[in-house]
Structures are given as C-alpha cells and as structure tokens.
Structure 1
Amino acid sequence: MLLAADVGNTNVVFALYDRREIKARWRIATDPRRTGDEYAVWLLQLLEIEGYGREDVKQIIVGSVVPRAIHNLTVLSEKYFGVTPLIAGQGEAQWGINIDVDLPSSLGADRALNAIAAHARYEGDLIIVDFGTATTFDAVDFNGAYKGGIIAPGINLSLDALVGNTAKLPRIAIEAPRTNSVIGTNTEDQMLIGVFWGYVAMMEGLIDRMKAEIGRPSKVVATGGLAILFDLHTEIFDAVDSDLTLDGLAILAERSA
C-alpha cells in the first residue's frame, strides 16, 4: 500500500492508498519542528486503529510546500517503515508535465499535483481553484501543461487581517450568510457579507477573466476545505474534487513504480 503525505502550510494530510483507492486518511497541524519520532507515535496508532500495520506500507510519497518538513518525514519513512520516500517533483517523482511559467522551480508542489490529477481525470482546458491557506487559481491546457495562475489570500487570512487590524470587530466563523442580502443590519452580518460574498465575487470575476484569456471552453475544478461550502452558493464550479492533491501524489507514485 501507498502512504501519501500532503504537507500544506496549515495541515499535513496523510492518506493510505490501495492502488487508487483511499482506505484511510488523517490530518495534523503543520509544524516543521515536529520530529519523525513524533509523527510515528501519532501515525502508527492511527494505522492500528484502522486495522493496518507498518508492514502494510510498501511505498511512501511526500508532496510539500514547507521544505523544512521534508527531512523529518524522511526520517519517519526510513526509521519506522523501512522505506525511502519519494519526494514529489524530485528524482523518480519528477512532475512529468510541461510547466510553462517564468520560473518552473518556483511552482508549489500542491499546484503541480493538482494539475497532474485534474488532467488525468478531466478533459480539455482546466481552471483549478484550491482553497488552502492561500486560494490559488491555476490554468492547465488540454495537453496537461501548466500555464500559470493566480495567488490570492485565503478567506481565513482575509478575516484574520480584518479582525487583527481593527479594535472593535469581533471574530466570526466562516459560513454562508443567512440570506442573500448584501445589506447587513449588524456588525457581524456586515462582516460575513463582506468576507463571504466578497470572496464569491472575487472568484467569479477572476475565473471569468481567466476564461476570456484562455479563449477556449474551460472546466472549473475546485478542491480544498472550503470548496464544498462555496459550491453551494455559486455556479462557477463544474466539479468539486476534495482529493485532487492526494490523487496527484498517488499518480506520481504509480508512475515511479
């Protein structure tokens, strides 16, 4: 079985794959200082709870946008599973796609993995929206080449900036407003309208501009934690695929094998 680790700025998501099927997944806060031993104490117990042992893991792949985390995950892999991990984008796990931007090496692992998985799953030109710490919009052409994109502050970052730089505005939860009205009658509603509907308007506007620039019909695929929430309140997404980044790791691991 394959153990895939998707290291984001906020969370590390581990997924246990049997071929292309996810059998279990676990999430832990990203901390570059977390040692391989600390990962092992947590992860080996969770494997056992799901009915698996370390001997079931034959291959490990890591995709990371936090370079400092890679060493400790390598220690975890080699010390506790006896496996040298594949590192997405390096060695046997090279991307295998054209990255048509000014500095290909600067492309985040999560965005390359999304491009690989989306092209394998959907046909034609694609726009991939990934809701993470930042929200990214990526253009992938019908040949699977990565053409570039947009980086915007994630909605939680936007809210943190609003609350952290004002004296009286309260902390609110990210959720859909109770109504479609964009004229709030209290402070909390006005903040939620600004953050939520403002974010929807930003996404719709940027995607319209990307489609116009691409000049061909493009399918919009959303992934990340808030994709399902926003999908209920906008018509811009053609598909929501929560496991896109993990599936990109599984594809890379399969190719290397």
Structure 2
Amino acid sequence: MTLLCRKGLHDLDDPAVARTAACPCGCARRYCLLCRTAAERERRARAREVRRGPVQLEWTGPRRLSRSGRYQRRRGRGAPLGLRTGRLAYRITPQERQVLQLLADGLSGSEIAERLWLARLTVRDRLMKNIRLKYGVASNAAAVAQGLKRGAVRPDPAGRRLPRTKAVRDGARSVIRLVKGERRPRHDRSRALQAMLDGLYAWSEAHAVSLLWSAGHITSRHVPQTRNAYRGEGVRTRAAKEAA
C-alpha cells in the first residue's frame, strides 16, 4: 500500500520527496518536502502583498510618507503609491469610470442611464455622487477635471478645433473657476449657462471641461489637489457617526 501526503500528490515512500521530523511525543513523523515548500512560498507571497498594501493605479498627488514609510523606502521595501499621512485616495470602479467618461463626452444623466440600461436615480444618486465623494469635489465638471488629471478619462478631441475667440476665453475662465471650486454649477435652464455653452460648442459644463482640456485652456495646474470624502457602506465608526 502506497503512503501519500495529505494532498494526495506525492509518494512518501520516495526518499527524494519524504522527510522525517520528530513529534513532541518522541515518535518520528514523515512529511512531504514539496508540499511544505510550496505552502511556505505561498505564505511568504501573501505576507509580501499585505506588507506592500493596496496598489493605487491612479495619480494621487505627491507622496508624503510618514517616518515609518521613509524608513521602509530606505531599506528597499517600497511604499504603496498614494500613501500619505492622511486618508488614502479611492479608486473609482469600472462602472463609475464609464459614467465619468460619458459625462466628459457630453451626455446627461438620463442619456447615461439609457445607454447603460440603469435607472436614472441610480446614475444620479449613487454613481455620480460616489464619484464626487471619491474625488472630493462638488460638481460633475470638477469630477471630470479630476478624472482627466488622473488619467481615468479621455478628453474630447473636438476641443482641438475650438476657435480662439473672446467667448471661448471667457467661458474657459468661468469653467476654471468651477473646477477650482470658486463658484457653484449653474442651473441647466439658466441663460448664462446656455450662452457660455454655445460659445464653447459644449453640451454641458462637464463636456466643456473635456473640450477645454483638449484645447489646452485647462491643464493639470488648474485642477486642485483634493481629499476624498467617500466612506463605503458599513465603514463609518461610532465616533464618526457621533461627530456627524
């Protein structure tokens, strides 16, 4: 009868595979060297991933490491991208990235819901709200600017054909103020908004950001560094609830 290891993969009668270890009771026990080596490698790889932390795929600004982070960098261990002394930056989900791209292309909330086969309230109250919270902004236009800065959104190439007129320059200054948080987003039916969008050949303020980014009127220096205010479901602690 052949004696196999616990996983049933190797023969413990083979001296090249089997090893003998002393039990606490004093008797000898055979174990599989290959299985133990594989388990040890898997444990070290898992510990290495935990030590490195989550990988941030988006640009999260300059890294301000704590003393322990700088110590690890000097020892060659490395620190995760986006590690700061404050709150870590959140990554948007693929569905939120798709919604943000459609916003940059000029679609409204109802059109995005129809394109993605979702409810209009789901797009407006959940996806768009989570994007604004994760990027730490108060408007969809500023969220598009943050996505363009971090490389999560592609700008509209039609902005390269914008004319060099006074209306475009005035509209760019107004949109830059919105991106910096110096003014609130205008109502969709306001005459001032319609006049600005007509001068920029845009469908919305978020689309205007994408066009002006492609034209070079808005760059990463106009987009401020923000901190996210997103807290997922079940993450809020008792102290945070009491503070709120």
TM-score (normalised: structure 1): 0.26
Greater helix percent: which structure? 2
Greater strand percent: which structure? 1
